[in-house]
Amino acid sequence: MKTLAIAFMFVLFVLHQDFWLKDNGTLVLGIVPASLAYHMAFTLLAAIGWYFMVRFAWPRFTDDDETEGAES
């Protein structure tokens, strides 16, 4: 799972460099510049990806959780 998380972060890093849309004047739906629409989709992809990373790859318990209820 750690390898998948690292690969996901690398893919996000590569996709965030949208130099191919820098000079694109196309409007999506007639009002949104293509670069902005791309970043909107990128942000949704990143949010969904991070949700799944936290849900499935985050450690369930930490050392602090084990000592939380113990008496000193």
| pLDDT tens per residue across span 13-38 | 888 888 888 888 889 899 999 889 99
Q: Is a pLDDT exceeding 60 seen at residue 72?
A: no
Task: Specify the pTM.
Answer: 0.69
Residue 33: helix, strand or coil by DSSP? strand
pLDDT at residue 44 is higher than 90: yes
Look at strands 27-28 and 32-33 and give their pairing: antiparallel
